[in-house]
Amino acid sequence: MNEQQRLQSQQVNSSDKKSDQDYSKYFEKVYQPPSLKDAKKRGKEEIQVHRDFEIPEEFLGMGTGKKFYIRTYGCQMNEHDTEVMAGIFMGLGYEPTFTVEDADVVLLNTCAIRENAENKVFGEIGHLKPLKMKNPDLLIGVCGCMSQEESVVNKIMKTHQFVDMVFGTHNIHRLPNILREAMFSKATVVEVWSKEGDVIENLPKVRRGDIKAWVNIMYGCDKFCTYCIVPYTRGKERSRRPEDIIQEVRHLAAQGYKEITLLGQNVNAYGKDFEDMKYGLGDLMDEIRKIDIPRIRFTTSHPRDFDDRLIEILAKGGNLVEHIHLPVQSGSTEVLKMMARKYTREQYLELVRKIKEAIPGVTLTTDIIVGFPNETEEQFEETLSLYREVGYDSAYTFIYSPREGTPAAKMEDNVPMAVKKERLQRLNALVNELSAEKNKAYEGQIVEVLVEGESKNNPDVLAGYTRKNKLVNFKAPKSTIGQLVQVKIIAAKTWTLDGELLEKPIEVK
């Protein structure tokens, strides 16, 4: 089909779509909507590792002279998926652009964790419509977590028919095929699989910087916390083989990266799906800490699976940093039960005690949800008291947002929104108070900072993070960017620290 025919078919298609209510027949689908029931029945399905990913020869050069733009919403997992998609685009010959007006393909890599994340994406899809009207050759795609939701796919088909592609989190490696189909298809191309199970290696990646890098160690989540959409959008837990992870980290070290963050929705479940060996996150960290790279982090932890072996390895220090993000969600055992977190307040506090004992000076941060259905004032106050007792350095705090298809969304809720908002404010006041207190204690101390670049607000000032993930602003020559330096803290703010550069940069082999 030539460009002229394509344009005609698109025009015919868009008017056709409008006149018909049964929009489903207008999308070319490889679509199995996620089902809560099926997801919960997950068993020991075989996980296949594909090591042979390559962009098929027929697609090479497909993007020559064209530009792509990807807007990313949500977590680090999504950010990293964007790096993979950018790698595939570049492999196809596309070039990146930083403005949508310039782009031949625009992808929205979406997040489904809370309703406001979804609303933002729908707003953005609406903004793209005039661009598509002006340039019918522009391809618009929606991918990421929202495209794994049946209701979202239906809404796009019904009210945003100018979207050319919808593809899911398990279909990223199919991007070349999806793009080609979208170029030639009359209809919106929908490729969403609810049946996952594979791990694809050798995907190309264009990383966002050359100082810090993300490395996936596992995909999916089998925890099924009752409020959470992730087990449905990201599929079942499946771990990458240690040898593949270690090879990737070694390669990044050789390239000069200074900090690696190991990624997974529930990294403490790493290795549980291996049938041929007993191997967990502690074992993996024990191997990775021997690689010559200054800093290793991991996120996100689930307290239930955080075992003694991991604590024992983290206590060895070295390049394993003394900061752990340990989402608690609530300080009340009853609420934790309704959330199906599978630990009690006491068990969480005991874990914190063990971690603090093994790793002196460890910094803890957390995630908290307020206003879970029927949360009482007393239960909320238990969250406040737990926050103080643990002494977190900071927290991400959220008002509970019902997600269609999750068990919590079916619970009746007697907590008015005004009460939830007020609880969030009270919690945030405590978070700020403790954060300011913790930062104040840094005044006069000398910390190691990995210099990342100019500070956001002042190009004459550089910014970087400590091992414990504190943001430090200080004056230093630009040549220190990418280096580890010693900084003396002179003033603490609520969220950041101001410092003075000391001596010369620490040598990094």
Annotated binding site for [4Fe-4S] cluster: 75, 111, 145, 221, 225, 228
- Which residues does residue 166 pair with via DSSP β-bridges, in sequence order? 142, 190
Shortest separation between residue 284's beta carbon and ligand 5AD, angstroms: 22
Q: Which of 78, 216, 301, 329 binds ligand 5AD (CB under 6 A)?
A: 329
Return the number of the residue (322 or 367) whose C-beta is nearest ligand 5AD: 367
Shortest separation between residue 397's beta carbon and ligand 5AD, angstroms: 8
What is the per-residue binding string for ligand 5AD in 106-145, x denoting contact by CB under 6 A? -------xx-------------------------------
Q: What angle do CA 495, 259, 460 make, to 5 degrees?
A: 50
Shortest separation between residue 110's beta carbon and ligand SF4, angstroms: 16
Helix, strand, coil tally for the chain in percent (to 5): 40, 25, 40
Give the separation between CA 443 and CA 431, rounded to whole angstroms.
Answer: 19
Query: Using DSSP, how many helices (H) and how many strands (E) does the chain show?
Result: 14, 22
Give the separation between CA 26 and CA 186, rounded to whole angstroms.
Answer: 8
Contact in structure between 174 and 198 (CB atoms under 8 Å): no
Shortest separation between residue 470's beta carbon and ligand SF4, angstroms: 25
Return the number of the residue (253 or 324) whose C-beta is nearest ligand 5AD: 324
Shortest separation between residue 199's beta carbon and ligand SF4, angstroms: 18
Part in contact with ligand 5AD (CB under 6 A); list of ranges 55-63, 81-89, 278-286, 397-405: 397-405
Partner touching 266 among ligand 5AD, ligand SF4, none, CB below 5 to 8 Å by kind: ligand SF4
Return the number of the residue (208 or 337) whose C-beta is nearest ligand SF4: 337
- Using CB under 6 A, list all residues that contact ligand SF4: 221, 223-225, 228, 230-231, 265-266, 302
Return the number of the residue (253 or 369) whose C-beta is nearest ligand 5AD: 369
Report if residue 299 touches ligand 5AD, rule: CB under 6 A: no
Shortest separation between residue 265's beta carbon and ligand 5AD, angstroms: 9
Return the number of the residue (91 or 231) whose C-beta is nearest ligand SF4: 231
Return the number of the residue (117 or 358) whose C-beta is nearest ligand 5AD: 117
Containing H/E element for 323?
strand 323-325
Binding residues, by number, are 75, 111, 145, 221, 225, 228
Partner touching 345 among ligand SF4, ligand 5AD, none, CB below 5 to 8 Å by kind: none
Report if residue 228 touches ligand 5AD, rule: CB under 6 A: yes
Shortest separation between residue 231's beta carbon and ligand SF4, angstroms: 5
Give the separation between CA 111 and CA 152, rounded to whole angstroms.
Answer: 12
Return the number of the residue (263 or 485) whose C-beta is nearest ligand 5AD: 263
**Residue 146, C-beta contacts closer than 8 angstroms, at least 6 positions apart:** 110, 111, 112, 118, 121, 152, 233
Shortest separation between residue 113's beta carbon and ligand SF4, angstroms: 8
Q: Which of 97, 374, 401, 428 binds ligand 5AD (CB under 6 A)?
A: 401
Give how far Cα 12 sits from Cα of 19, 23, 24, 29, 98, Å. Answer: 11, 14, 17, 19, 31
Give how far Cα 306 sits from Cα of 300, 327, 414, 470, Å. Answer: 11, 12, 33, 24
Give the separation between CA 169 and CA 194, rounded to whole angstroms.
Answer: 9
Tokens of 334: 């009853």
Part in contact with ligand 5AD (CB under 6 A); list of ranges 185-193, 279-287, 340-348, 396-404: 396-404
Report if residue 227 touches ligand 5AD, rule: CB under 6 A: yes
Shortest separation between residue 414's beta carbon and ligand 5AD, angstroms: 17
300 preceded by a cis bond (ω within 30 of 0): yes
Query: DSSP for 117-175?
Result: HHHHHHHHHHHHHHHHHH-TT-EEEEEEGGGG-HHHHHHHHHH-TT--EEE-TT-GGGH
* Beta strands 496-506; 238-239: pairing state: unpaired
Report if residue 398 touches ligand 5AD, rule: CB under 6 A: yes
Instruction: Select the residue whose beta carbon is closest to ligand 5AD and give its number.
Output: 367
**Residue 247, C-beta contacts closer than 8 angstroms, at least 6 positions apart:** none
Tokens of 137: 């050759």
Partner touching 224 among ligand 5AD, ligand SF4, none, CB below 5 to 8 Å by kind: ligand SF4
Give the separation between CA 448 and CA 228, rounded to whole angstroms.
Answer: 37
Contact in structure between 114 and 137 (CB atoms under 8 Å): no
Return the number of the residue (201 or 367) whose C-beta is nearest ligand 5AD: 367
Residues that bind ligand 5AD (CB under 6 A): 113-114, 227-228, 327, 329, 367, 369, 398, 400-401, 403
